[in-house]
Structure 1
Amino acid sequence: MSGSGDTRQAGAPGDQFSMRLSGGPEAAATARGALARLRADIDPPLMETLRLLVTELVANSVKHARADSVVLRVLVGRSAVLTEVTDEGPGFDPAVTGSPEDTSGWGLFLVERLSDRWGAVHDGRSTKVWFELRRG
């Protein structure tokens, strides 16, 4: 079942959540829908950027890493929203982010262009891509 394993943390409603998604064609849509759990005080343009980048990264995990599951973690702070997408894929070269001329593969290009900071970590077992969007 997609979206199982929600581990929402205590504290202000919507400040943080983590969920494990089944790695199938519906994973990106499920992740996008889960963002509705976040606080209502996130301004709409920031929320649209967050939805877009989460959709792209989860889709990348499913397509390129062929992940059976993907973990989405979102933390909303006063000054920024930190998002992590983790899968059990083999990793990739974060220096290769695509270009506007490409017909596909826009995920990392968009993360690089639209986020304030981002990175990727591969520890030999899993790959985590994270990004930060500043608030206000």
Structure 2
Amino acid sequence: MRIAEISMLPSGPAAPAAIRATIDALSVLSADVRADIRLLASQLATSPEVIGRARDGAVLGLRIDRRPGIVHVELEAHRTASPRDQTIAVAAGPCLLARVCARWGMVHDGATTVAWFEIDDPPVAAPSLCAVPQVPAAAATG
């Protein structure tokens, strides 16, 4: 079931805030699920893997669907201008996806890129991205 959609959102500095506001309004999702979606969608909206180097020449679309046990999110970028540089740097987007998501992928088709990810709903317990491994006291003293 589609629970949110944005279309024709110009890329640029205002895009992540518009995406976050849409996600924050989704009271049908738990705060934990909204926080993960908010982080990932905001990151992807500025990611060179998704929008290319033509950062201000892309039009974004966001679709969020709730399915039994998961939330499926798609961020689509249509580049309306030729990228200034065809070399796409690897940034944090895919690294975050791999750490937080149950499943994710990217599809590139000419001037369009669709990045999608799925978050378990309810979330499955996972280590925090900021967790520091704890060393037992006996092992630390050697």
TM-score, structure 1 as length reference: 0.71
Task: Please list every run of at least 4 consecutive aligned residues from structure 1 whose deviation after the TM superposition is greater than 4 angstroms.
Answer: 89-93
Question: Within the alignment, does 1:69 sit opposite 2:69 as a pair?
Answer: no
In 2, are the aligned partners of 1:65 and 1:88 still within 8 Å (CA)? no
Distance 1:64 1:81, change over 3 A: farther
Question: What residue ranges of structure 1 are gaps of 5+ in the alignment?
Answer: 1-10, 99-104
Counterpart mapping for 1:1-136 below 5 A: 15-20=2-7, 21-38=9-26, 40-60=27-47, 61=50, 64-66=53-55, 67-89=57-79, 105-136=91-122
Structure with bigger RCO (C-alpha 8 Å, 6+ apart): 2
Letter aligned with residue 72 of structure 2 = L
Q: Over alpha carbons, which structure has the higher Rg?
A: 2
- Equivalents in 1 of 2:110, 2:34: separation in Å? 32
Cα distance in 1, alignment partners of residues 17 and 72 from structure 2:
19
- Looking at structure 2, the residues matched to 65 and 46 of structure 1 have their Cα atoms a distance apart, in angstroms, of 30
Q: In structure 1, what is the Cα distance between the partners aligned to 2:45 and 2:63?
A: 11
For structure 2, the residue ranges without an aligned partner over 5 or more in a row are: 123-142
**Post-superposition shift, 1:53?**
0.3
Per-residue deviation, 1:69 = 1.2
Aligned residues of 1:115 and 1:133 also touching (Cα < 8 A) = yes
Deviations 1:63-122 (A, max 9, x none): 7452431111111223111000111247988xx9x6xxxxxx222210111000000111
CA contact (8 A) 2:24 2:34 kept: no
- Percent identity, please: 28
In structure 2, distance between residues paired with 1:59 and 1:76: 24
Residues 92 and 51 of structure 1, relative CA distance in 2, 3 Å threshold: farther
Alpha-carbon separation, structure 1, partners of 2:52 and 2:110: 19
When normalised by structure 2's length, the TM-score is 0.68
